[in-house]
Each structure stands twice: as C-alpha cells, then as structure tokens.
Chain A
Amino acid sequence: MTRDEFRQIAANGIWKQNTSIVQILGLCPLLAVTTNLVNGAMLSLATIIVMAISGLAIASLRNLIPHEIRIPVFILVVAALVTVVDLLFNANLHELYLVLGIFIPLIVTNCIVLARVEAYANKNPPLHSMFDGIFMGVGMLWTLSLLGGLRELIGGGTLFSGIDMVFPGLHPLQLFPSDYPGLLLAMLPPGAFILLGCLIAWKNWIESRAAARQHRRAPEPMAAGGLH
C-alpha cells in the first residue's frame, strides 16, 4: 500500500465521499441517535470497529465467496461482528448501551457497512479495505459528532451531556445560561434533517469556493492541448 493510496482512501472517507453528507447513507441512526454529541460519537465508534474488521474479513475472503450469494455472506460476517460489539458495549458501557438501545444491533442493517463491503472490500486487498472501513467510519464520526453537538447545543444549551456514561468523573458542559429555553425542534427528527441540510450546504459551499479559487489561480492551459 503506497502513501498515495492511503492518502486517497483517507480523503475519500473523511471528506470526498463522506457517508453522511455526500452519500447520505445511514440516515436512520443519524436522525435517531445524534440528539447529543456523546451518543453520535459512540455509535460511530461502534460502527468504525465493525467496518474495519468486516472490511478486513471480507477482503480476505473475497476470492472464496461465490458471487451469487455474496450478500448473505456479507450480512453473516457483519452480524457476527455486530454481536461482538453489542456484547462489548453491554459489558463495559452498560448505561450507554441502554441509551443507544436498538441502534447498536441495527448497525447490521446500516447501509454504510454493506455499501463499503459490497463496493470496496469485495474488490480490493484486505489492508486497503480495512483502512477504507476505518476512514469511512471516521467521516461518519465527525459528522455525527458535529450534528449531535449542534443539536444538543441548540436544543438544550449543553455539550457532552452523557459523557459521564463513558468517562465517569467527567461532567457535561453547560454553555448557555441555565434559563436558556432550548429550541426543542433541534432535538426532534425534523431538526436533525434541517441541520443535516445545512451541513450539506456548508460542504458544497466550501467545495464551490475552493473550485472557484483554483479556477482563478490556474486558468485552463490552452497550449497543453496539443501534447495529449
């Protein structure tokens, strides 16, 4: 694996093909879980674990899996991994496990996982596939964390609420004065849709600005046409 390949995989996962704001996949956990930053981040971490190992496993087995029944095989592998993560959360982060509830088992049906396995791990070597899974998950991690943070900040004026479930001893931040009424809409699914729309618009804005700047700096080299 060359440095360039690695960089490309990372850029794809974190920005260019970001699962949440470019591919718009996995909206169900996105809407339901990102009511605060900790929930969004922890679900993303669980997904990263599953995606990394499933990428590695499927890519190693890709030449042995019959093409016709590949989807059931993928799901079987992913489901086994999710069961492991589910039990891990249940044992070590029990309070958080109760909060996230059905959304940890539902990682099996998360289309991000299946999409990466089908579109990438099934066609690429194991190490590439593992990093692809990790960086796709990192892309999901920052988007879900940002979305969760924004939602809890607008909805209740706090940040990191529920952090004591992960790191006992830490306390959530109360950023706005305690009489802040809280825009409840941000906590409800419509608020998640609206904020996700804003995030997508923000990403497109950055890209179009960067494209315009590049266009200004380097106008199309006309003379180069003859060299092809």
Chain B
Amino acid sequence: MNFNTPPYLTQNVSVQHVMLQVLAALLPGIAVYVWLIGPVVVVQIAITTAASLLAEAFMLRLLNKPLGLFLGDGSAIVTAWLIALAFPPLAPWWLLVVGALFAIIVAKHLYGGLGQNPFNPAMIAFAVCIVSFPALMSQWPPVDLPSGVLDHLALVFGYSPRIDAMSGATPLDTLKTALKLGDGSASVASVMADAHTYGYFAGKGWEWVGAAYLLGGLWLWQRRIISWHAPAGFVGGMALLAGGLWLWNPGQFANPVFHLFSGGSMLGAWFIVTDPVSGCTTVKGKLIFGLAAGALAYVIRVFGGYPDGVAFAVLLLNICVPLIDLYTQPPIFGMKGKP
C-alpha cells in the first residue's frame, strides 16, 4: 500500500535553486554598477568569489563535510557578491579577501555552517573591515572619475598610490558633513543642488544602482524566493522615520526617497534583511525585523559617525531574531491565541 502525506504539491526549493535566483536578481544592479564605475567591479566580484570559495573549501575539508554538495550550493558565492557590492569599488584587493575570509570562516563556519549562522556573513565582513580599516572603507570614487579600467586596476592591486583625489565621500557622507560641520547655513536643498554629486532623486548615478537592486528584488518577490514582509518593513521603517523628520524640518533632513536610494538601503532591503538564515522566520517577525533594521540604519547613518548604517543595523537586529521569533509565533492550526 502506498501512503502519501500532505503537502501534495511540492516546489523545487533546493538551496542551489534559491541561491542561483538570488545571483540572477543581483545582475541588473551589477550591470548598472559596471556602467557607472567600470569593469573593475567585475574584477572585484571575481576576487571575492575566488576567496570565498577557497575559504569554503578549506573549512569544509577541515570539518570533514562533503565538498561538492556545499561548494555547489552557491551560498558562498552569494555572500561573496554581496561583500563585493557593499565594499567600495576601488578598495584594495586584500581588503575584499579579508572580508571574504572573515565572512566564510568566522561568521559562517565557526557558527556551524550554512543554516546555522546567527549573523549575516556579508554584513560581518563589512563591519569587521569598517572597524579595522575605516579610511579605506570610506573611499568611494566620484562617479565621473576620468580614469580608465587600467588606472582602477592599478589602484586595486596597489601599483599606484591612493591619492585623495581618487576617492570622494558618498552622497550620504557629503550631505552629513555639510550639515553637521558647516556654519549652519547649509540646507539639504543647497547641498543637493550640486549637480556634480546629486542626481534626480539621490546620489548621481548611485540612484540607478539602487533602482536596479529594487528591480532585482521585485523579481525575486515575484518568483516567490523572498516574501514581501522584510523588505517592506525595511523600506517602511526607513521611510517613516526619514519622512517624519523631513516633514518636521526639510532644511536639515533629506527626503525619504533620497535615503531609500542612497548607500546600502536597496541592497539591504532586498538582499540582506531577506536572508532566510539570519533573519526572522515568522511573518510578523519579518515585518518587525525589517522595520527595526530600516529605522536603525537611518538613525546610524544620519546621527552616527559611520558613512552608512545598514550593516550595523542588520547585525544588531540579527541578535534580536530569536526574541522576535519567540514573541511572534503564530497560533497552531486549530488553536486560538498563543500556542
């Protein structure tokens, strides 16, 4: 006799399947990034991917886990791509390697490997590097940099000196510095009138990278790889806080659209807070996680000392995940109230 148990409809949801789609969803963002900065972005992604895979293979060997199964699942590649996209594009190669090694060896495998890590490995890499090398991690090139790919590669591989002209601040940083350190006469409108740095609704050029991430994220949602709760929470949390402060004092606080398309907001909203391992698992929990992460990212980037706050916000919320999950357990089917 043949017994079948529900659910009868099954989906192909292997880790590899999910990870490949996440990688595909990152492609539009990468394409715009390459158009904006140059092919050096692809080189950085390749370096980080190679380092991540090597670290993954090393740790799998050390832990006697099947090499092919885990190397082929693509999770290390997703981590590597997120690191490469979160780091400054002209960062020296070893910075990306340090980030990748730390993410894979410490943040992923020392905590038990795929599915066990309480913290998002890519954000750990970012946090470790910005704490350890604050200067290098804050050197973002201006978008109309008049230099070719060879100049970029010379910078990445350390053959030419890192001069300040090659490295500007991000649109977020420029705004914060002008508002905080100025004589008080600077307003958001006057700072953002600078067409050299600012575009239509956010940083010049960077706004389209953010828009492309948004596109990729929406595609992931449409493919049901991610649910809408965490991204909506993140966007909502950041927009609510930014919108409230903007309505209260538009001279000192930029509008929510600027914040949503600046820094790591879109990458964070669609590719970081949706991490199924380090994020919440309950529906309500995902919303709370996203909301708090978005609001905290805004607070850190506007009032804090770091150029962007997404990484720290996500890591702080990662710690709270077990607590949020505990208090947002849905009732068991057929029961009323708390289980």
Contacts and interface: CB of A to CB of B under 8 A. Distances in A.
A98 B132 CA distance: 26
B42 interface: no
Interface residue range, chain B: under 10
Contacts of A184: 131-133
A199 interface: no
Interface string B88-126: 000000000010000000100010000000000000000
Contacts of B136: 181
Contact of B106 (A182, A183, A188, A194): A194
A contact residues, range: under 10
Contacts, number: 15
Nearest to A197: B110
A88 to B, nearest CB: 37
Main SS class of interface, B? helix
A149 B110 CA distance: 23
A185 interface: yes
Contacts of A181: 133, 136
B36 interface: no
Nearest to B136: A181
B100 to A, nearest CB: 14
B241 interface: no
B128 interface: yes
A184 B133 CA distance: 7
Contacts of B98: 183
A185 B132 contact: yes
A188 B132 CA distance: 9
Contacts of B131: 184-185, 188
A188 B136 CA distance: 18
Nearest to B102: A185
B91 to A, nearest CB: 12
Contacts of A194: 106
A194 B106 CA distance: 9
Contacts of B106: 194
Contacts of B132: 182-185
A92 B131 CA distance: 37
Contacts of A182: 132
A194 B110 CA distance: 11
A181 B97 CA distance: 14
A175 B56 CA distance: 29
A184 B98 CA distance: 12
B284 to A, nearest CB: 32
A200 to B, nearest CB: 12
Nearest to A179: B158
Interface of B: 98, 106, 110, 128, 131-133, 136
Given A183-B132, A185-B128, A188-B131, 12 more contacts: A181-B133, A181-B136, A182-B132, A183-B98, A183-B133, A184-B131, A184-B132, A184-B133, A185-B131, A185-B132, A194-B106, A197-B110
15 contacts: A181-B133, A181-B136, A182-B132, A183-B98, A183-B132, A183-B133, A184-B131, A184-B132, A184-B133, A185-B128, A185-B131, A185-B132, A188-B131, A194-B106, A197-B110
